[in-house]
Amino acid sequence: MNIDKKIADDLVANDISFVTTVPCKQLAGVIEEIDQRDDIFHIPSNKEDEGMGLCAGAWMGGKRPAIIMQNTAIGVTINTLATLIQFYRMPLPMIISYRGELREPVACQVEMAVHTKALLNQLNIPTYHFHWQRDVEELDNILKYTFMCSKPVAILTDANFWGGYGDQ
Amino acid sequence: MIRSEILKEIAPILRDQLVVCNIGIPSQELHAIDDQPTNFYMLGTMGLASSIGLGLAIAQPKTVIVIDGDGSVLTNLGTLPTIGNNAPANYILMIIDNGSYGSTGDQPTYTGMKTDLAGMARAAGCDNVVEVQDVDTGAALQAAIDGGTATVMVVKCDSGNAKMPVITMDPVVIRDRFMKSVAG
Ligand SMILES: Cc1ncc(C[n+]2csc(CCOP(=O)(O)OP(=O)(O)O)c2C)c(N)n1
Ligand SMILES: [Mg+2]
């Protein structure tokens, strides 16, 4: 299975047409895939809170948005998640590369990994963790759930899911 | 002129437009001067007005006017390259540059010193950047609306705030009536 293609297919099938990204090595393939899709407008942002602002605007303009980012960005976006996305009750699927988990080669990444689920939990953000490739089968349901409840929802995708950081 | 005097003057122009308004006293002033369902008031999240407005302008064809502040643009400077490379023709970013963090007591920002926001916007790739004196805001804003190209306005004015009540409207109500105006 090509998970990059599967993720992009699920976004399109759920009418998500506005995607902002800040890259992570693990996300390179899916970002490239999204760039090639005619039915998705891809707008790179310079910081993830900026990206969430873009998504909020796009949603109010009638488009379904998504953000693709690294888990370290949870540290960047807490204020935006609480005071914009949650306070105004907006849906936002967050496809997040979960660095610092099993098969991670860079020690510094572990420092935010250990806080990631605790922070999401503290924010009452529904959180899913993709560890095996087959976990991607849940994505379609998660996207539907996100727009049903109008909340930010986190999908953490670790190195094992992506086939290993070093050997992908 | 201070911000509230400018807002009073341009209220008739803003009235029929989609407006995304900066956090704090700017939103309180606009709300008190002329509350409209076409106004999206930011109650928090300093810095993101320009980004919310950009997403909105890309997603739909109506003109979007963002009322931003110098301090808020400085805190989200990454917005300028994103605007410079993506802003559609219906996007107007009006930065009320009073050289201060007005809402928090007029502490000076760097735009009152050596920093030039219009120059930064140009360097970031914004093609149509206009510097405006407070008294000319109405004419410049109308020209930007009529011009039909993405515009960044840097409006130089005095620091100071009018005493207006806090917005107590529920954020979901603000958002919902705004979305109905966008779609309507
Ligand atoms: C992250 C964060 N830091 C600080 C504040 C406090 N704050 C609210 S409004 C504001 C000033 C904004 O200044 P500017 O954008 O220039 O608008 P002005 O009020 O001057 O028109 C500040 C510092 C905040 N809301 N959020
Ligand atoms: Mg200011």
In a domain, A25, yes or no: yes
In a domain, A26, yes or no: yes
Residue numbers of the domain that contains A28: 3-159
Q: Give distance in angstroms: CA of A38 to centre of ligand 2.
A: 40
pTM more than 0.90: yes
Q: What are phi and psi of B176, to 5 degrees?
A: -70, -45
Do A54 and B81 make contact, defined as CB atoms within 8 angstroms?
no
Do B82 and A43 make contact, defined as CB atoms within 8 angstroms?
yes
Residue A76 contacts B, CB cutoff 8 Å: no
State yes or no: pLDDT of A165 exceeds 90.
no
In a domain, A168, yes or no: no
Percent of chain A clearing pLDDT 90 (strictly above): 96
Q: Tens digit of pLDDT for each residue in A102-134?
A: 999 999 999 999 999 999 999 999 999 999 999
**Diameter of chain B measured on Cα atoms:** 44
In a domain, A60, yes or no: yes
Q: How many domains does chain A have?
A: 1
In a domain, A115, yes or no: yes
A/B interface, count of CB pairs below 8 Å: 116
Question: Which A positions 84-143 lie with beta carbon below 8 A of chain B?
Answer: 84, 87-90
- Among A27, A3, A60, which Cα is nearest to B49's? A60
Q: Which residues contact B146 (CB under 8 A, 6 or more apart)?
A: none
Q: Give distance in angstroms: CA of B160 to centre of ligand 2.
A: 9
Q: How many domains does chain B have?
A: 1
Q: What is the CATH number of the domain that holds A62?
A: 3.40.50.970
Taking ligand 2, which is a single-atom ion, which protein residues have CB atoms under 5 Å away?
B 69-71, 98, 100, 102
C-alpha–C-alpha distance, residues A155 and B94, integer Å: 36
Q: What is the CATH number of the domain that holds B148?
A: 3.40.50.970
In a domain, A166, yes or no: no
Give the ipTM: 0.98
Q: Which two tokens stand for residue B37?
A: 């369902």
| Residue from A88, A89, A149, A151 whose CB has the most chain B CBs within 10 Å, to mutate | A88
Residue numbers of the domain that contains B22: 3-183
pLDDT average, residue stretch A138-145: 98
Residue B61 contacts A, CB cutoff 8 Å: no
Q: Tens digit of pLDDT for each residue in A22-78?
A: 999 999 999 999 999 999 999 999 999 999 999 999 999 999 999 999 999 999 999
Ligand 1 atom closest to residue B74's alpha carbon, by position in its atom list: 15
